[in-house]
Structure 1
Amino acid sequence: MSAVREALDSVRLVDHHCHGTVTADLGREAFESLITEGEAWPGISPFDSPVGVAVRRHCAPLLGLPRHAPAGEYLARRSDLGWREVQRRFLRAAGTDVFCVDTGYAPERITTPGDIAEAARGTAYEVVRLEGVAESVRAAGAEPDAYADAFRAAALDAVRRPGVVAVKSVAAYRTGFGLDPARPSDAEVAGAARHWLVRGGRLDDPVLVRHLLWTAVDLGLPLQLHTGFGDNDIRLHRADPALLTDWLRLTAGTIPVLLLHCWPYQRQAAYLAAVFEHVYLDVGLTLHYVGPARAGAVLAEALEITPFRKLLYSSDAYGVPEFHHLGALAFRQGLAGLLQERVDADELALPDALRIARWTGRDNALRVYRLRSDGPEDD
């Protein structure tokens, strides 16, 4: 084992963006639906994809099965152990002791931040999804002229809950990033709210999404933004983080902006992190979908020009705890291989490589979110 890999394996990771896992034993159809951003189409199983192969290769041994166990055997063993034991094994194997959990997406019953912390023997914090806050304001019957104040008040209440450390937006799904970057006027917000409050549905009005992003700036907490890869609800070309350039220029000097996932736009995200002080990125979600075999290639592109204090680790695990383990494994293996290769080529000193490994896996997130593993910083 290389010196860098040994060091990375010893780092207790900070997963700065993840979700809960389903609190039920899963049959094949349900499990397959959770290991793909697409669907389990007739004759095409998600097990026959890079992520499905990675599950069978790297997760099967934690269930007491041989590597590459057939899907049927894997699922039978998972069922025999029960979801609680499966969750415990994968969360502890991930070597993660701090989790920032997005609680705003729960089409199934999933574990809470407290559940995750208990299973992992770690610490968990909450990330508030702002679109959910806006939709709760609409459901409460806000009047158009009062919408802006009502949303701000509800958002402030949400972020003041104990354990909340950040907010998140899924504007990439709702409108994409090709928005007017300017803060909308009160009249614009009231006019847009008038239409949306009557029409209903999810928040997808461009003016109100702009208002949401600017409200996030006012809240003062780090803002996570989904970018790039997602399910077929997204229009990928509109999720390119480079489209945020003008908005980032206007918000310079305010809050940290965390670009999540990024693939296939990790190079665009790296550019933004290189030229804007308040921009950071990760390649979470991507890593377990490409698997450990290709994680190094994605990380290499993300780190071509990114300052080393700007890359964070996340799993973006959702639904199945295998993704907590796979994300961590792919990150450690991919980053260790990349850094060790540079050390061997004398392009990087070993002490620098070890610092970068710890920064990326842990310290950068602690710094951005002002966290300690046992609680928020006091200063």
Structure 2
Amino acid sequence: MGAGPVHDTLAALRLVDHHCHGVVTTGLDGPAFRSLLTEGADWPGISPFDSPVGVAVRRHCAPLLDLPRHAPAEEYLARRADLGAHEANRRFLAAAGTGLFCVDTGFTPQRLTTPGELAAMADAGAFEVVRLENVAEAVAAEGVEPGEYGERFRAAAERAVRRPGVVAVKSVAAYRTGFALDPARPSDAEVTAAAGPWLASGGRLADPVLVRHLLWTAVDLGLPLQLHTGFGDADIRMHRVDPTLLTDWLHLTAGTIPVLLLHCWPYQRQAAYLAAVFERVYVDVGLTLHYVGPARARAVLAEVLEITPFRKLLYSSDAYGVAEFYHLGALAFREGLSGLLQERVDADELSLSDALRIATWAGADNARQVYRFSATT
């Protein structure tokens, strides 16, 4: 691991994790734990432990369970089970050193911690991010006429964001339609026409017109909008989630809300371009960092920081399900960014004072500036 003033500053910094999820509160057997280690599946004969993220867990997380580095997977799982879910979660969340969490509460195929429960476990603060597709699908489930859908969705979204502790909204348009959408705001007539077939058939919101309506509703709400881009599970069609496909929409919405491009890999350079040319676009490489692990975090961060303004990079873990990802994400971010910045200081390409400012901005202050926690909660 690194050493020096940049490393020490990041090591001591209480991070602001601007996008994450809860953790599972019950014990996880081997198959359940392995399924949460991957965006793919726990395939027969191909263990997620035999992947970059699995190796990183055994290397960097095993010591927090009182195991040697690189402990075998079965020993790791047995020790985790002996400690119990609460103690394992507590150890990893404490090690992450996060001071504030922004928690996406919209994906809960199993019981996860609430923002308040996560905060208590980590001795931190927590805020909520509202997933707008969930709001739309709840409106549809309640029963609504096609001609009333647009206004009912807007009213429901406004109620959702007025809840105490809500600081942002999120869309998973990447999963539902991709970003090759008509950028214009749809008319009321278009929304009504598209709502009819969807409301009749039910299911997930995946109509391009209604997704456009959702994105424009996000603009009207006025809160920061988080957008999944790039890497995700098998629902993603990767060629449709390049964030530069949003360019025309970003032109139309310029000067309105902050747009936060999440994850980004393998499009971190495209995301960096958007952050460099649009005032209110920001990027992170959350999710990516724990999957590539500390060994490759510096390389990913170097690519996103080739042209990204330093006030535009935020930290997130995108941890979901297992608390190991909070620890790994934070560790990879601290080690990767400190190594990158220290290298530039040593080469006299960056002053030490600038490097320390950039480290603090990316780890915490940029998120505080975008979300304005004290003004919204």
Which TM bucket (shorter chain)? Answer: over 0.9
1:175-206 residue CA offsets vs partner (Å, 9 max, x unmatched): 00000000000000000001100011100000
Corresponding residue number in structure 1 for 2:160: 158
**Which one-letter code corresponds to 2:193 in the other structure?**
G
Which residue among 30, 34, 37 is the counterpart of 1:35? 37
Using the TM superposition, give the Cα deviation of residue 90 of structure 1 relative to its aligned residue in structure 2, in angstroms: 0.5
CA distance in 2 between counterparts of 1:88 and 1:228 reads 30
Corresponding residue number in structure 2 for 1:291: 293
Divergent runs of 4+, >6 A: none
CA distance in 1 between counterparts of 2:213 and 2:235 reads 22
CA distance in 1 between counterparts of 2:149 and 2:375 reads 34
1:60-83 residue CA offsets vs partner (Å, 9 max, x unmatched): 000111100000110111001100
Corresponding residue number in structure 2 for 1:52: 54
Corresponding residue number in structure 2 for 1:258: 260
CA distance in 1 between counterparts of 2:107 and 2:245 reads 25
Using the TM superposition, give the Cα deviation of residue 378 of structure 1 relative to its aligned residue in structure 2, in angstroms: 6.8
1:325-350 residue CA offsets vs partner (Å, 9 max, x unmatched): 00000000000000000000000000
Corresponding residue number in structure 1 for 2:225: 223
CA distance in 1 between counterparts of 2:376 and 2:313 reads 24
CA distance in 2 between counterparts of 1:67 and 1:245 reads 45
1:219-258 residue CA offsets vs partner (Å, 9 max, x unmatched): 0000000000000011011010000000000000000000
3-state SS of 2:129 partner: strand
3-state SS of 1:40 partner: coil
3-state SS of 2:26 partner: coil
Using the TM superposition, give the Cα deviation of residue 134 of structure 1 relative to its aligned residue in structure 2, in angstroms: 0.2
Q: Are residue 195 (structure 1) and residue 197 (structure 2) matched?
A: yes
Corresponding residue number in structure 1 for 2:10: 8
Corresponding residue number in structure 1 for 2:136: 134
Corresponding residue number in structure 2 for 1:208: 210
Using the TM superposition, give the Cα deviation of residue 377 of structure 1 relative to its aligned residue in structure 2, in angstroms: 2.6
Using the TM superposition, give the Cα deviation of residue 2 of structure 1 relative to its aligned residue in structure 2, in angstroms: 1.8
Which residue among 250, 271, 274 is the counterpart of 2:273? 271
CA distance in 2 between counterparts of 1:197 and 1:247 reads 26
CA distance in 1 between counterparts of 2:28 and 2:366 reads 35
Using the TM superposition, give the Cα deviation of residue 23 of structure 1 relative to its aligned residue in structure 2, in angstroms: 1.3
Which residue among 20, 23, 36 is the counterpart of 2:22? 20
> Does the Cα contact within 8 Å between 2:167 and 2:376 map onto a contact in 1?
no
CA distance in 2 between counterparts of 1:2 and 1:293 reads 19
CA distance in 1 between counterparts of 2:265 and 2:54 reads 19
Corresponding residue number in structure 1 for 2:251: 249
TM-score by length of 1: 0.98
In the TM superposition, what are the counterparts of 1:341-360 in structure 2 within 5 Å?
341-360=343-362
Corresponding residue number in structure 2 for 1:146: 148
**Which one-letter code corresponds to 2:103 in the other structure?**
V
CA distance in 1 between counterparts of 2:87 and 2:121 reads 9
3-state SS of 1:326 partner: helix
3-state SS of 1:377 partner: helix
**Which one-letter code corresponds to 1:271 in the other structure?**
Y
Corresponding residue number in structure 2 for 1:377: 375
Point out where structure 1 has 5 or more consecutive residues left out of the alignment.
none
Q: Are residue 367 (structure 1) and residue 369 (structure 2) matched?
A: yes
In the TM superposition, what are the counterparts of 1:100-139 in structure 2 within 5 Å?
100-139=102-141
CA distance in 2 between counterparts of 1:269 and 1:3 reads 29
> Does the Cα contact within 8 Å between 2:24 and 2:112 map onto a contact in 1?
yes
3-state SS of 1:48 partner: coil
Using the TM superposition, give the Cα deviation of residue 92 of structure 1 relative to its aligned residue in structure 2, in angstroms: 0.7
3-state SS of 1:356 partner: helix
CA distance in 2 between counterparts of 1:34 and 1:68 reads 19
Report the identity percentage: 77
Q: Are residue 320 (structure 1) and residue 322 (structure 2) matched?
A: yes
> Does the Cα contact within 8 Å between 2:104 and 2:131 map onto a contact in 1?
yes
Using the TM superposition, give the Cα deviation of residue 5 of structure 1 relative to its aligned residue in structure 2, in angstroms: 0.5
> Quick one: structure 1 residues 152 and 378, their matched pair in 2 at CA, closer, same or farther if it must change by over 3 Å?
closer
Which residue among 228, 234, 237 is the counterpart of 1:235? 237
3-state SS of 2:232 partner: coil
Q: Are residue 69 (structure 1) and residue 71 (structure 2) matched?
A: yes
CA distance in 1 between counterparts of 2:190 and 2:376 reads 39
CA distance in 2 between counterparts of 1:322 and 1:42 reads 23
CA distance in 2 between counterparts of 1:377 and 1:121 reads 22
> Does the Cα contact within 8 Å between 2:254 and 2:280 map onto a contact in 1?
yes
CA distance in 1 between counterparts of 2:24 and 2:243 reads 30
3-state SS of 1:289 partner: helix
3-state SS of 2:311 partner: coil
CA distance in 1 between counterparts of 2:170 and 2:300 reads 23
CA distance in 2 between counterparts of 1:115 and 1:64 reads 25
1:135-192 residue CA offsets vs partner (Å, 9 max, x unmatched): 0000000110000010000000100000000000000000000000000000000000
